[in-house]
Amino acid sequence: MSDRGAGPSTAAVPIPRPQRYDFDAIVVGAGPAGSAAALELARAGRSVALLERGPFPGSKNVYGGVVYGRVLDGLIPGWQQEMPVQRWVTRRQTMVLSGARSLTVDFRNENWGRAPHNGATTHRAEFDPWLAEHAQRAGAVLVPSTVVVALLRTADGAVHGVRTDRPDGDLTARVVLACDGVNSFLAKQAGLLGGDQASHTTLGVKETLALPRGVIDERFGVTGSGGVDVEMLGCTGKVPGGGFLYTNAESVSIGLVLGLRGLARAKVRPEHLLAELKRHPSIAPLVRGGELVEYSAHLIPEGGYRTMPPLIADGLLLAGDAAGMCLAAGIWLEGVNFALGSGMCAGRAAATALATGDTSAAGLAGYRSALRSSFVLADHERLRDAPGLVLSERMQQRYPGLLCDFAESVFAVDNPRPKPGFRALLRRAAKRNGVRMRDLAKDALTGLRTFG
Ligand SMILES: Cc1cc2nc3c(=O)[nH]c(=O)nc-3n(C[C@H](O)[C@H](O)[C@H](O)COP(=O)(O)OP(=O)(O)OC[C@H]3O[C@@H](n4cnc5c(N)ncnc54)[C@H](O)[C@@H]3O)c2cc1C
């Protein structure tokens, strides 16, 4: 893991209800969720501390590389002119790999290279400080190199601050926003996150490979500031998961997302699977000669809506990955936009609760309704079955082969034999891959219900 230190281990610290508070709000974690929340609170005129364990925001954070930033329209007007962008995504692909074969759905739209844009590749070490700076300019106090090790709670269980790893490092506030990412220690201490997390957590591993700009342009068929986002299925061996490949200005990011349990069962190392992916005939020409400049790994909460913890307690809100809000639905691997959206809702709900003087769970309940009326919970709720479907045995182990077999038989010219019909080809591909037509129809229906 690239996150610093082992993290907090102590239980919540009991305190008497403070007579006065150091801050109105404390936000833990200066990732996209935390900075968005702090920005909203500061804009509402609230005193807010933004605590970050890294030496600067984004210093240790890992992700694939694409931000779908339209959610920023409501947070930083004009963000498209000032965000530190590597490339604007003008081409999106979903690729299914099976053995040495691949089948790709390739969509390009040059309009995405112009405002309002669809998505951009950006480095977290540039994106996170940019966002945190907006929060600071609005009045939030950023405190880096500071690990929050415990929640401070009054006798009635309400959260009223945090303990940090600094000497005399207790800070009190009327409300705490836990934006401390996947495996949130704060959510655990508050009793909101428990159970079998390993079954719905994946490990993301990523390599950044330096390549000259012109080489990337040529290989990926883009020009200027245009870039490509490729999501992959069928590239993780026996481990449930998927892959990604994104273009930056002068590097590409390639990685895998691997189910923790499957990884342990398969007894295979992630870097070996990644090396295999880079050798695949459809991928090797794209990454050839790339110089490894970074290897990183991080956990991802992939359970979606069905595994989300409660989002609110007395004096406490969870946002972003801490609340399990990463969307992992095959064609989509998005977490930053959900972190931004939930951070904004959390910041606004906390500001409203502070204004009414009620930061109990009831006073903070506006958070949930705001999330529900935004894409954050709406998408998660509608796509609640997607993680199960995408990570299912058939989807992972059988459909990549079935689709490649089907494509192969459609594209192969087998004269002098007459061409068989698509239905016959599909039936044959299904049989070869051990899929009953009944299950195929059932999964297609579930897929339609889930994504439709
Ligand atoms: C390999 C990989 C690929 C991904 N690809 C994409 C992608 O391409 N696009 C996308 O949108 N999403 C992607 N994601 C998901 C995305 O990274 C997350 O969903 C997103 O970063 C969540 O934001 P967050 O602010 O909730 O948490 P984080 O970004 O994890 O931020 C949490 C912050 O809290 C800090 N922190 C943690 N504990 C403490 C503590 N105790 N005290 C103080 N500070 C603390 C951390 O240092 C960190 O800065 C990917 C994730 C991985 C791992």
Q: Tokens at residue 316, please?
A: 């406490």
CA distances from 280 to 18, 234, 448 (A): 60, 11, 31
Q: For position 10, what pLDDT does the model report? A: 62
Enumerate residues 6+ apart whose C-beta is below 8 A from 388: 306
Bridge-based pairing state of the strands 316-318 and 333-334: unpaired
Give the strand pairing for 87-98 and 226-233: parallel
Task: Provide the sign of the torsion angle of the four alpha carbons 144, 146, 150, 153, taken in this order.
Answer: negative
Our answer on whether the CB atom of 187 is closer than 6 Å to any ligand 1 atom is: no
Q: What is the DSSP letter of 16?
A: P
Distance CA 340, CA 35 (A): 8
Does residue 57 contact residue 132 with C-beta atoms inside 8 Å? yes
Which atom of ligand 1 approaches the CA of 29 most closely?
34
HEC letters along 213-270:
HHHHHHHHCCCCCEEEEEEEECCCCCCCEEEEEEECCCEEEEEEEEEHHHHHHHCCCH
Find out whether 73 and 164 touch, Cβ atoms under 8 Å.
Answer: no
- Among residues 310, 302, 307, 350, the alpha carbon closest in space to that of 328 is found at 302
What is the DSSP code (8-state) at residue 319?
A: -
Q: pLDDT, tens digit, for every residue of 282-338? A: 999 999 999 999 999 999 999 999 999 999 999 999 999 999 999 987 778 899 999
- For residue 158, the CA-to-ligand 1 centroid distance in Å is 26
Q: Is the CB of 304 under 6 A from ligand 1?
A: no
List of residues 6+ apart from 88 with CB closer than 8 A: 112, 113, 117, 118, 119, 120, 225, 226, 227
Distances (CA, A) of 176 to 4, 185, 188: 22, 13, 14
Q: Which two tokens stand for residue 265?
A: 């069962």
Report helix, strand or coil for 331.
Answer: coil
Alpha-carbon dihedral 419, 421, 426, 432, rounded to 10 degrees: -40
- What pLDDT is recorded for position 418? 87
Joined together, the tokens standing for residue 270 give: 């992630």
Tell how far the Cα of 355 is from the centroid of ligand 1, in angstroms.
30
CB of 343 within 8 A of CB of 421? no
Spatial CA neighbour of 201 closest among 261, 249, 152: 261
Q: Residue 4 has what pLDDT?
A: 37
Using a 6 Å cutoff on CB, does residue 33 contact ligand 1?
A: yes
**DSSP-assigned letter for residue 197:** G
Q: Which residue has a Cα nearest atom 37 of ligand 1?
A: 180
Peptide linkage before 416 cis (omega within 30 of 0):
yes
State if residue 204 touches ligand 1 by the CB under 6 angstroms criterion: yes
Which residues of the chain fall short of a pLDDT of 50? 1-6
Indicate whether residue 330 lines ligand 1 (CB < 6 A).
no
Residue that the structure tokens 């880096």 belong to = 144
Torsion angles phi and psi, residue 312, rounded to 5: -140, 140
Write the CA distances from 241 to 201, 256, 340, 395, 444, integer angstroms. Answer: 11, 7, 25, 10, 20
- How far apart are the CA of 234 and the centre of ligand 1, in A? 25
CA distance 403 to 102: 9
What local confidence, expressed as pLDDT, does residue 450 receive? 85
Ligand 1, atom 35, lies closest to the CA of: 29
What is the spatial distance between Cα 241 and Cα 220, in angstroms, rounded to a whole number?
A: 24
Quick one: the chain helix, strand, coil %, rounded to 5?
40, 25, 35
Q: What CA–CA distances, in Å, run from 293 to 82, 147, 149, 215, 337? A: 26, 28, 32, 17, 26
User: Residue 181 Cα, ligand 1 centroid: separation in angstroms?
Assistant: 5
pLDDT tens digits, one per residue of 354-372: 999 999 999 999 999 999 9
